[in-house]
Structure 1
Amino acid sequence: MNSHKTIPEVMKAIVAYAPHDYRLEEVPVPKPGPGEILVKVKSAGICASDIKCYTGAPLFWGDENRTAYCEAPVIPGHEFVGEVVELGEGAKELYHLEIGDHAVSEQIVPCGECRYCKNGHYWMCNVHDIYGFHQRTQGAWAEYMLFPKGAFNFKVPKSIPLHHAAFIEPLACSIHAVERGDIKYQDTVVIAGCGPLGLGMFAAAKMKSPARIIALDMQDERLELALRSGADIGINVTKENAVKKVLELTDGYGCDVYIEATGHPSAVEQGLNMIRKMGTFVEFSVMREKVTVDWTIIGDTKELNIHGSHLGPNCYPVAIRMLEQGLLPMEEIVTHKFPLTDYQKAIDLVADGLTSVKVTLEP
């Protein structure tokens, strides 16, 4: 086993016990076994799904209709980059990583045994161990974290600033959502939501070379950032009738591809109304509550292609390359950095959603 000499026995970590009950504690530093890697966390992002978990959304904590997704007590954090400080037996050869390398790990650690894993659809793994939500995959809101055996790990070039490298996970998710849209060269693509994930989608969609990319949001500042990330047109939905505007831009037909990345139910209905017949609707968001729509639009009226999008399978190398190439204005996207001790301020800032884009914790 290879390691740095100065790894402590205990570390500071944020531990989630229940909605609104997250605590800064001292916990043991994990020990890597065969095929496992210990990293010192350098930067960890706060995702919109982290906020939904913190505020008690049923998806994460369960209700009468569903089992809890969050296995508390657990250390949150699935957006991260770390420095390799200890390699379990065989991990160096398996992952081609050295002590001191910067590394990320794909957000899901698949079981390798279920039907989905065996069919190659590992991101839909039936066991579904995700960093920051499950006991086997403790997250990155801590000084150290473990990449378990079976994880998909990637070396990160040191030319990428660490607080930018924490954006690899959300960017990979954005890339996958764009791939699910099956964008063609003459398509009009609408992406609703100019948060961190939406911004990644604009850059990824630009690489597909559609005829035009339209950004929808409620804040002019975010729409301007979307234009710098790859969008061609920005529409503030509080100032214009977005459905009418998109229809005008497409000779009354509607957009070819609509990607929903707001997490708001109204954006789902909006998309169904502005997409053309036989268009492709990609639902990306983690919704806090259930959403009800007129399914007749989907079926009899428009015969739409409805695609979900989950995680960022096979997209991490692409995300790393996009950051290397500077395809996103990362200094404008990562707007705030906090020490681990100020986790509550960071959570509150993201929950407010008015003055930040991407917020990171720097253990």
Structure 2
Amino acid sequence: MQAVVCHGPEDYRLEEVAKPSLPDGGALVRVEAVGICASDLKCYHGAAKFWGDENRPAWAETEVVPGHEFVGVVEEIGSEAAQRWGVAVGDRVTSEQIVPCWRCRYCLRGAYHMCAVHDLYGFKRRTPGAMAEFMTFPPEAIVHRISKDLPPAHAAFVEPLSCSLHAVERADIQFEDVVVVAGCGPIGLGMIAGAKAKGAAHVVALDAVASKLDLAKRSGADTALDITTDDIYEVVRGLTGGFGADVYIEGTGHPAAVKQGLNLLRKLGTYVEYGVFGSEASADWSIISDDKELDVRGAHLGPHTWPKAISILESGVLPMDDICSHQLPLSQFQEGLDLVGSGSTSVKVSLLPGS
């Protein structure tokens, strides 16, 4: 089969490799679509180069097929796995990007997304990713069925959407809350939809790209502001009687967005950080403590949110035709990486191995 293989930073190659065989207790899946995200780009460049710190690991092991947000069709599956996951040959499926051990402290307490010894599709040799014609699910995987009525690229969006919904869960949004979402890329758009679904009174979207702000409005934002031209602080104060936002969810990974969020929040507000940063971010911690007594929470992956993400996609509430802006054949993986790296040229880029 054809697959993209990581040989090191900025050395990904399309190669002919052996088609995987059905693993004991697992499944063999024909890949329909795989999305490219910021973490794929970070691994492509090498985390050390991305961070400007040679002491940081490169994350992705060499000789690994990348790709962790995907959808496919079950090609082969054993009876035990079919019963465990409730799927059969011919079903369209996806699998959560983390493959937990189910034995460590975190797994035993329900926090499987923080598994101490986990595998990740597309980052480790034991769990090759989806930039290939076929992939396998090991028995420890978490597998979900998803409708065949969705275009493949739309269905593969379930992974970033699940991450967005987890960040929203961490925010503990109340009915009267004014929620600010920083960044209207794939993750931010899902945060907007999730915040509205949670009953936020008003959702404010922030970005610097007009087309993404338009998508934010169509994804549920009540107000969409351009951070380069609009007075975002004045607008938020006007929406809150001068107090500030109740919740700020950061999805850009830009250091300036941290200070922005701390300043936009009211006293006793909630800050949720989901962004993956390319450099260290600094802030006046007195704002968090002495000035405002803020709740500051991190968010990682999308535990327990995949069923809801699937239902949102299947409901048609999101403008997926425009969110999924680019679909390319596997042979054009380099163009896909470059599109993601350009920042404003695309929204969600996907590869379609069967095309």
State TM-score, norm by structure 1: 0.94
Aligned length: 353
CA contact (8 A) 1:334 1:358 kept: yes
Partner secondary structure for residue 345 of structure 2: coil
The structural deviation recorded for 1:241 is 2.6
1:354 aligns with 2:344: yes
Percent identical among aligned pairs is 55
Partner SS, residue 102 of structure 2: coil
Residue of structure 1 aligned with 2:184, choices 194, 206, 219: 194
**Any conservation in 2 of the 1:32–1:87 contact (CA below 8 Å)?**
yes
Contact 2:43–2:59 (Cα < 8 Å) also in 1: no
Match of 1:40 among 26, 30, 48: 30
Offset at residue 198 of structure 1 (A): 0.6
Distance 1:192 1:61 in 2: 22
Q: Is the contact between residue 48 and residue 54 of structure 2 (CA under 8 Å) also seen in structure 1?
A: no
2:160 match: 170
What 5-or-longer segments of structure 1 have no aligned partner?
1-10
For residues 1-363 of structure 1, the aligned pairs below 5 Å read: 11-58=1-48, 63=53, 65-363=55-353
- SS class of match (2:325): strand
C-alpha contact 2:203 2:223 (8 A) present in aligned 1? yes
Partner SS, residue 128 of structure 2: coil
The structural deviation recorded for 1:67 is: 4.1
How far does the alpha carbon of each residue in 1:275-330 deviate from its partner, in whole angstroms, 9 at most, with x for none?
A: 11111100001112221111111111111101111111111111111111111010
Letter in 1 for 2:301: L
1:99-129 Cα shifts (integer Å, max 9, x gaps):
1110000110001111101111100000131
Alpha-carbon separation, structure 2, partners of 1:19 and 1:103: 30
Question: 2: CA distance between counterparts of 1:69 and 1:61?
Answer: 12
1:5 counterpart residue number: none
Q: Secondary structure at the match of 1:82?
A: strand
Alpha-carbon shift at residue 159 of structure 1 (Å)? 1.7
Q: How many Å apart are 1:248 and its aligned residue?
A: 2.8
* Unpaired runs of at least 5, structure 2: none
Contact persistence 2:274–2:299 (CA under 8 A)? yes
Q: Kindly state the Cα deviation for residue 73 of structure 1 after the two structures are TM-superposed.
A: 2.5
User: For residue 8 of structure 1, what is the aligned residue in structure 2?
Assistant: none
- The C-alpha deviation readout for 1:52-84, integer Å capped at 9, x for no partner, is 222223398995654442222211111100011
1-structure distance, mates of 2:294, 2:276: 21
